[in-house]
Amino acid sequence: MGLVVLVQPQTNIFDAGKALPTPPIQLLCAARFVAKKHDVHIVDVRQDKDWRATLDRFIDDGATAIGTTSITGDQIFSSIEITRHVKAKKPDLPVIWGGIHGTLFPDQVLEEESVDYVVRFEGERTFEIIMDRLADGRSVDDVEGISLRKDGKIRHNPTRPFMDMNEFPDIPFELLRRNPWFLVKGRPSVYLETSRGCQSACTYCYNNSYHKRHWRGQTSQKVLGMLDSLRDRFPEVKHLSIVDDNFFGNRSRTHEILDGLIDRGSPFSWQVQGAHIGVIGAMKSEDFKKLRAAGCERLDMGAESGSQELLKKVLKITSSEKILNINKNCKDAGITAWFNFMTGTPYERPEDLSMTIDLGMRIIKENPDTLVSPFYIYAPYPGTDLFAEAEKRGFAPPKRIEDWKGLHSGNNTTPWLTSTERNLRQSVYFLSIFIDRKLEVYDTHPVIRALAKIYRPVARWRMAKRWFGLMPEKAIFLRLFSIS
């Protein structure tokens, strides 16, 4: 049996302001098979202020390997800090890196000398095989699905085929010894995953290169069995956050899951973080009512823009009319709609941005319970079709892993935006944080929650009137987010 230590890096803006950070679902998924054979521990840098000492203790106790993950952007620097600390403590201890950035840029990650192996694409089975071999003192050099350095050269082994998700064990929440859940409206909540991938071709989405526009999901029987197991293992959990890319990828599966939940008396409230807006837009009013009867409280969808021309260019299959109709159906059924918006794409004109602001403000006015994402500023993430367009317009992808700093959805330096245009979108991003009640949903810091409620009318007025100048409050709030 090996001693496996998985380390969750800082997530910065993704958990800013929350009373508790969200559980490290990527690491939990990676540990699905490994936890059945090996002694697995998770160190969460976001919660453990003395994480270096914690890591040192595990290393001194004979850790077999250290694993971490990262998405593209600022989070990379926390992951590098972790792996460099490990190598400084014990240079020959294997360090394994997973996640989307490693999958898309394995060479770049392996140029970082503190990383030995990169697990590409899905990691559950690959990571299990790596740990079995390391625990037995065997070589992992030929393991399918990894990239590695060998004799001073970077080598990429063949890609491992995607698994049948019905073979996955339950997510091992027991590994989170401190906080196996997070809070949604004061209720203990957990992340769940029932499917992966999406059939759509949206040009800004990682799914095109990562999942190859392929959707696969667990059967309804598998999902319902997983929920029964969760209820037995953690009776205190009252709410679920389903993190699928597209939960509604199979209509018959969806209705079978809903029927099963209704038959069980709807034991959980739940929300879907990946609700395909095209599928939701085709639903009838009775479908929304059935969702609510099964415990669904919220649907998160990508609206992206109020401009039909821009939606067509990014291959987003929806319209303002459909978005407004979804908003009404959700209101009538008692389901909270969450719409994601994006600005700053290479195609966006001033009138497109204005239409996006108008649509966001209108859906909140017509349904006060509706939530909108911060109006994310487009960041050119690798592996997407729009990334290629960004390169044509002057975006130069970082050559070194350290150079990804500053690439995130609240601030970036894409070359097609002038300084004035960038500042405008940063102001829209900031104001959109406060125009609805989203900061109340995740039990954010009490000070931030109180100030956000006071500031909401001002934020709405500024957005409606396009009054983006003289905004000293932005620096104050960003400072509060950084210390919360």
Output the 3-class SS for the chain: CCEEEEEECCCHHHCCCECCCCCCHHHHHHCCCHHHCCEEEEEECCCCCCHHHHHHHHHHCCCCEEEEECCCCCHHHHHHHHHHHHHHHCCCCCEEEECHHHHHCHHHHHCCCCCCEEECCCCHHHHHHHHHHHHCCCCCCCCCCEEEEECCEEEECCCCCCCCHHHCCCCCHHHCCCCCCEEECCEEEEEECCEECCCCCCCCCCHHHHCCCCCEECCHHHHHHHHHHHHHHCCCCCEEEECCCCCCCCHHHHHHHHHHHHHCCCCCEEEECCCCHHHHHCCCHHHHHHHHHCCEEEEEEEEECCCHHHHHHCCCCCCHHHHHHHHHHHHHHCCEEEEEEEECCCCCCHHHHHHHHHHHHHHHHHCCCCEECCCEECCCCCCCHHHHHHHHCCCCCCCCHHHHCCCECCECCCCCCCHHHHHHHHHHHHHHCCCCCHHHHCCECHHHHHHHHHHHHHHHHHHHHCCCCCCCHHHHHHHHHHHC
Among 70-79, 210-219, 344-353, 379-388, top mean pLDDT goes to 344-353
End-to-end CA distance of the chain: 39
The crossing angle, in degrees rounded to 10, of helices 446-465 and 419-432 is: 130
CB 56 within 8 A of CB 26: no
User: Distance between CA atoms of 357 and 352, rounded to whole angstroms?
Assistant: 9
pLDDT for residue 483: 43
pLDDT at 17 > cutoff 60: no
Over the stretch 101-123, which tens digit does the pLDDT of each residue have? Answer: 899 899 999 999 999 999 999 99
Q: What angle do CA 459, 465, 466 make, to 5 degrees?
A: 80
Return the HEC string of 230-246. Answer: HHHHCCCCCEEEECCCC
Q: Which residue has the higher pLDDT, 251 or 446?
A: 251
- Least reliable range by pLDDT among 162-171, 318-327, 384-393: 384-393
pLDDT at 370 > cutoff 70: yes
Report which of 113, 124, 117 is spatially closest to residue 25, judged by C-alpha positions: 124
Order of strands, edge to edge, in the sheet holding 65-69?
39-44, 3-8, 65-69, 95-98, 117-119, 146-150, 153-156
pLDDT at 222 > cutoff 50: yes
Enter the pTM of the model: 0.92
User: Distance between CA atoms of 100 and 121, rounded to whole angstroms?
Assistant: 7
Domains and CATH numbers, the chain: 3-147 (3.40.50.2300), 180-483 (3.80.30.20)
Over the stretch 186-221, which tens digit does the pLDDT of each residue have? Answer: 888 999 999 999 999 999 998 887 888 899 999 999
User: Distance between CA atoms of 100 and 223, rounded to whole angstroms?
Assistant: 25
> How far apart, in Å, are the Cα atoms of 41 and each of 2, 38, 254, 469?
11, 10, 34, 49
Q: What angle do CA 30, 148, 127 make, to 5 degrees?
A: 20
Evaluate the CA torsion angle 16, 25, 229, 292 in order and state its sign: positive
CB 240 within 8 A of CB 271: yes
pLDDT for residue 237: 93
pLDDT for residue 482: 54
Region 257-285: what's the mean pLDDT?
A: 96
Q: How far is CA 381 from the centre of its chain?
A: 14
Q: What angle do CA 193, 199, 201 make, to 5 degrees?
A: 120
Q: Which residue has the higher pLDDT, 88 or 403?
A: 88
Joined tokens for residue 347: 């195609």
Over the stretch 75-95, which tens digit does the pLDDT of each residue have? Answer: 888 999 999 999 999 999 999
Report residue 484's pLDDT band, with 50, 70 and 90 as the boundaries: very low
Report residue 385's pLDDT band, with 50, 70 and 90 as the boundaries: confident
pLDDT at 327 > cutoff 60: yes
Report residue 181's pLDDT band, with 50, 70 and 90 as the boundaries: confident
pLDDT at 392 > cutoff 80: yes
pLDDT for residue 406: 64
Joined tokens for residue 130: 């790596």
User: Distance between CA atoms of 333 and 367, rounded to whole angstroms?
Assistant: 12
Q: Which residue has the higher pLDDT, 43 or 381?
A: 43
Region 267-287: what's the mean pLDDT?
A: 96
